[in-house]
Chain A
Amino acid sequence: MRAVFGRVWRQPVGRLGLLLVVAVLLLGVIGPPLAPYDPNKLNILARFGAPSTAHWLGTDHLGRDLFSRTADGGRVALLVALSTIAIALAVGTLLGIAAAYASPWGERAILVVFDIVSAFPTLVFALAVVALLGPGLDKVILIVAITLIPHFGRVARAQTLSLRNSPFLEAERVLGAQPWRITAHHLVPNILGPLVVLASMDIPVVITIEAGLSFLGVGVPPPRASWGTLLHDGYTTLSQSPWPVIVAAGMLTLATLGFTLFGEALRDAIDPKLRVEP
């Protein structure tokens, strides 16, 4: 692991990505407790404030502190991204492995489900779920996780198919190891590398989807902050103050850029064919 991160750090692009990722993580994890104000505390008379010593990033259209809301929105973005990726990775990997080992009929059935889920537009799916269940953070996580499961499932299936007849797995089977033991102790660790790279590359995608859903009003319900709702609120009051849009768009840009650069560097560091040695 240290060697992998060392290789990431040695790439200038990887270093920039890692620094941005660490900054976003710090903002999401320690930002809210350190924030000077309650992110939902209204102060109508102080609305549309420019950055100042009292409000480092200014205030929004209801006088709420933008730094506190940005930090809280960062926490929401990370919570959605990490929990979504964790669910999609776990379920997708299991289904992918199951597809690889299943009968042709079973494999076909799983792949058809993947195709159906992939073919369904995320936004339409989100609107349908919200109409049925109402808006909420848990619904956002559910929506995005379901749409990402085929992504991980297909990679897990392909990796499993390439390893299924490997000599070391054959040896385990000959020695009488149980299928679950072979899967847990030998198969999963060997297919996890590409899946982790995929997960790191998907984090910015998830952050963007969450922000997009929240921007459209079907994501995180008010008053909870999300970078998407900050952007939407700022957009509707752009002529009064540009700061909410600048802050929210800036955070989205830095977070997606950071996770993308970091993911690409991680991929290069793990894949020996793409490895860039200094």
Chain B
Amino acid sequence: MATLNRRQLLAAGAALGVAGTSFSLPVLAQSGRKSVTLALPRDVQPPFDPLNRLSFPEGNLLRVVLQGLIAFKPGSFEWELSAAKRIEQVSDTVIEFELKPGLRFHGGFGELTADDVKFSFERAIKPGADGKPVLYSTDFAALEEVEVTGTHSGRIRLKTPAPALWQVALPDISGLIISRKAYEAGAYRADQPTKVIGTGPYLLKEWRPNERVVLQANPEFQGPKPGFEEIILRPVRDSKTAELAFRADELQFTAIEPANAADIAKIPGAKILKQDSINFVWIGVNVEKPPFNDPRVRRAIRLAIDVDQVIEGAYNGAVGRAYGPVAPGLLGNWKDAPRHARDVAAAKKLLAEAGVPALRAKLTLLNKPAYQNAGIIVQAQLAEAGITLDLDVQEGGSFWSAGNGEAGKNLELSLQRFGGKADPSFQLQWFTASQIGSWNWQRWNSPEYDALFAKAGGVTDPAERARLYIEAQKLIDESAAFIWLTHEVNVYALKDWLTPGILPNGDDQLYNRFSPA
């Protein structure tokens, strides 16, 4: 079993990237394998639009159908050129780019030009047809405009310096380039989900809801030929079902529960890939809803929970404990974050002071085994402090909309898990006031935090950025609305003839870099 810790993983990123690249070169003819079936943790949901995507399954799909100016290398957060022939930061607020000529959108939508880049990026700073900003507008918050200087060249002008742009936007999903003509013809919208027009290595051939997504190699793609002619993505929500499908060779790649890794490694022809993750799992408390609007109640809940025991029981001790949203090894990780220990007596005292000695609360959580086990353990722990916790276990569709809009006002506690990226601005953006009603399920509103977050985004000195992000995390900690559990660990089962293309956070996968080994 290959085991990498986070530091080794990040340090060895470049090497892995090179390895991944070399394996993804056209070896198809040698192996004879033309198709591979990969597991999705849930079905994709339209719209398949880079700036209005729901989450990473949609993002991974878009990543291979569309192209950005640059793209991540597998196994690392380093980037390489994609649609751009050249890209350069000429000053703190200007990035120049030149496109490769002859990149053609499939479906007869013509050549990819600098005007498409302008259209794609400036959508992030302009309200949509409904008057609302796109969902991922913060990724391009610093963008002023894209100036077209030629058919294939342009300048990205920024309002302020934005070092995070090179991590969370340009090489990632939000930086994917769509066709202006195709968009105006109705592509990338929820009502025409399979009309996703791009210049990437794959075409979205078919999407059968809750059954499969089929990606077919794009014959017009001008980059390295992808490893497989066809990739089938099958949504399998239950990890145990995915394991059984892997055993039956119905899947050749799937995420598995860490505790089952040793058992699955014994299957002939199987191998295990294990990597520390930079995702983050936590219990959030809605600070608007009484009695949780009282900080004493939130502190009491935090004091009543023994996180180490939760990790031991829910994850079989296979993951480390988190002390904040930014994982160790990343810029902005708060090494000296407080290690909140359990103190039931203090929790009871705080509840009594708050006037709610017999508190009843509801924890909303996803119906994954690890989260349900965590919920049961927290339920037992809170009971010892006099808090009756009801578990509201929901399936993916209803869970991920539980905090949105008006419904979010009724949330009390929620067990959440978000994916991480290399730049801390991605992890920390969800707790700004603008995310209330979207992803800030705690409904925590701190102008001071928002100001620190905004200021850090424009700082180019890494040490100063790290300091500002740590200051922001101190405010998060003071709110007592967040009980950090773990950064998780990513464990995958895959066939020994398969080389995967995975980024260090595990959620982000480069399907075009999956190849027969």
* B398: chain A residues within 8 A (beta carbon): 131
In the complex, are the beta carbons of B375 and A222 less than 8 A apart? yes
Which residues of A16-60 have CB atoms within 8 Å of chain B's CB atoms?
A: 40-42, 44-45, 47
Q: How far is the CB of B500 from chain A (nearest CB, A)?
A: 23
In the complex, are the beta carbons of B393 and A239 less than 8 A apart? no
* B390: chain A residues within 8 A (beta carbon): 221
How many angstroms from the CA of A236 to the CA of B309 in the assembled complex? 20
State whether the Cβ of B96 lies closer than 8 Å to any Cβ in chain A: no
In the complex, are the beta carbons of B257 and A222 less than 8 A apart? no
State whether the Cβ of A61 lies closer than 8 Å to any Cβ in chain B: yes
In the complex, are the beta carbons of A62 and B313 less than 8 A apart? yes
User: Which of A47, A63, A222, A237 lies in contact with B393, CB distance below 8 A?
Assistant: A222
In the complex, are the beta carbons of B263 and A44 less than 8 A apart? no
State whether the Cβ of A217 lies closer than 8 Å to any Cβ in chain B: yes
In the complex, are the beta carbons of B367 and A239 less than 8 A apart? no
Count of A-B contacts judged by CB separation below 8 Å: 52
Which residues of A92-133 have CB atoms within 8 Å of chain B's CB atoms?
A: 131
Which residues of A74-100 have CB atoms within 8 Å of chain B's CB atoms?
A: none
State whether the Cβ of A223 lies closer than 8 Å to any Cβ in chain B: yes
Q: How far is the CB of B359 from chain A (nearest CB, A)?
A: 18
State whether the Cβ of B259 lies closer than 8 Å to any Cβ in chain A: yes
User: Which of B259, B377, B391 lies in contact with A62, CB distance below 8 A?
Assistant: B377
In the complex, are the beta carbons of A42 and B380 less than 8 A apart? yes
How many angstroms from the CA of A235 to the CA of B313 in the assembled complex? 16
Q: How far is the CB of B46 from chain A (nearest CB, A)?
A: 22
* B376: chain A residues within 8 A (beta carbon): 42, 62, 222-223
Closest to B377 in A: A42
* B391: chain A residues within 8 A (beta carbon): 221-223
In the complex, are the beta carbons of A40 and B380 less than 8 A apart? yes
Closest to A42 in B: B380
State whether the Cβ of B369 lies closer than 8 Å to any Cβ in chain A: yes
How many angstroms from the CA of A233 to the CA of B240 in the assembled complex? 11
* A42: chain B residues within 8 A (beta carbon): 313, 376-377, 380
In the complex, are the beta carbons of B377 and A239 less than 8 A apart? no
State whether the Cβ of B312 lies closer than 8 Å to any Cβ in chain A: yes
State whether the Cβ of B373 lies closer than 8 Å to any Cβ in chain A: yes
State whether the Cβ of B216 lies closer than 8 Å to any Cβ in chain A: no
* B369: chain A residues within 8 A (beta carbon): 233, 236-237
How many angstroms from the CA of A237 to the CA of B380 in the assembled complex? 21
In the complex, are the beta carbons of A44 and B377 less than 8 A apart? yes
Which residues of B319-376 have CB atoms within 8 Å of chain A's CB atoms?
A: 367, 369, 372-373, 375-376
* B120: chain A residues within 8 A (beta carbon): none
Q: Which of A42, A63, A223, A236 has the most CB of B within 10 A?
A: A236
Q: How far is the CB of B318 from chain A (nearest CB, A)?
A: 12
User: Which of A131, A222, A239 lies in contact with B263, CB distance below 8 A?
Assistant: A239
- B 186-203 binary contact with A (CB < 8 Å = 1; else 0): 000000000000000000
- B 380-419 binary contact with A (CB < 8 Å = 1; else 0): 1000000000111101001000000000000000000000
* A237: chain B residues within 8 A (beta carbon): 259, 369
State whether the Cβ of A14 lies closer than 8 Å to any Cβ in chain B: no
* A45: chain B residues within 8 A (beta carbon): 312
Closest to A235 in B: B240
State whether the Cβ of A250 lies closer than 8 Å to any Cβ in chain B: no
Which residues of A207-250 have CB atoms within 8 Å of chain B's CB atoms?
A: 217, 221-223, 233, 235-240
Closest to B391 in A: A222
In the complex, are the beta carbons of A236 and B393 less than 8 A apart? no
How many angstroms from the CA of A74 to the CA of B39 in the assembled complex? 37
In the complex, are the beta carbons of A61 and B380 less than 8 A apart? no
How many angstroms from the CA of A235 to the CA of B239 in the assembled complex? 11
Closest to A38 in B: B380
- B 483-511 binary contact with A (CB < 8 Å = 1; else 0): 00000000000000000000000000000
Closest to B306 in A: A44
Q: Which of A41, A235, A239 has the most CB of B within 10 A?
A: A239
State whether the Cβ of B149 lies closer than 8 Å to any Cβ in chain A: no
State whether the Cβ of B260 lies closer than 8 Å to any Cβ in chain A: yes
State whether the Cβ of B473 lies closer than 8 Å to any Cβ in chain A: no
How many angstroms from the CA of A44 to the CA of B369 in the assembled complex? 15
* B395: chain A residues within 8 A (beta carbon): 217
Q: How far is the CB of B390 from chain A (nearest CB, A)?
A: 8
State whether the Cβ of A150 lies closer than 8 Å to any Cβ in chain B: no
State whether the Cβ of B379 lies closer than 8 Å to any Cβ in chain A: yes
In the complex, are the beta carbons of B257 and A223 less than 8 A apart? no
Q: How far is the CB of A68 from chain B (nearest CB, A)?
A: 14
A40-B380, A131-B398 given; A236·B392 CB < 8 A: no
* B380: chain A residues within 8 A (beta carbon): 40-42, 223
* A61: chain B residues within 8 A (beta carbon): 313, 373
In the complex, are the beta carbons of B373 and A134 less than 8 A apart? no
* A217: chain B residues within 8 A (beta carbon): 367, 393, 395
User: Which of A44, A131, A223 lies in contact with B379, CB distance below 8 A?
Assistant: A223
State whether the Cβ of A153 lies closer than 8 Å to any Cβ in chain B: no
In the complex, are the beta carbons of A44 and B313 less than 8 A apart? yes
How many angstroms from the CA of A61 to the CA of B374 in the assembled complex? 12
Q: How far is the CB of B22 from chain A (nearest CB, A)?
A: 35
Q: How far is the CB of B220 from chain A (nearest CB, A)?
A: 44
How many angstroms from the CA of A53 to the CA of B377 in the assembled complex? 25
Closest to A223 in B: B376
* A236: chain B residues within 8 A (beta carbon): 239-240, 257, 369
* A238: chain B residues within 8 A (beta carbon): 240
Q: How far is the CB of B365 from chain A (nearest CB, A)?
A: 10
* A223: chain B residues within 8 A (beta carbon): 376, 379-380, 391
* A239: chain B residues within 8 A (beta carbon): 259-260, 263
How many angstroms from the CA of A131 to the CA of B395 in the assembled complex? 10
Q: How far is the CB of A115 from chain B (nearest CB, A)?
A: 29
A62-B377, A236-B240 given; A47·B257 CB < 8 A: no
What would be 6 A-B contacts, judged by CB atoms less than 8 Å apart?
A41-B380, A42-B377, A44-B312, A62-B313, A236-B257, A239-B260
Binding site for B on A (CB under 8 A): 40-42, 44-45, 47, 61-63, 131, 134-135, 217, 221-223, 233, 235-240
**Shortest 4 CB-CB distances between A and B: which pairs?**
A239-B263, A44-B313, A236-B369, A42-B380
Binding site for A on B (CB under 8 A): 239-240, 257, 259-260, 263, 309, 312-313, 316, 367, 369, 372-373, 375-377, 379-380, 390-393, 395, 398
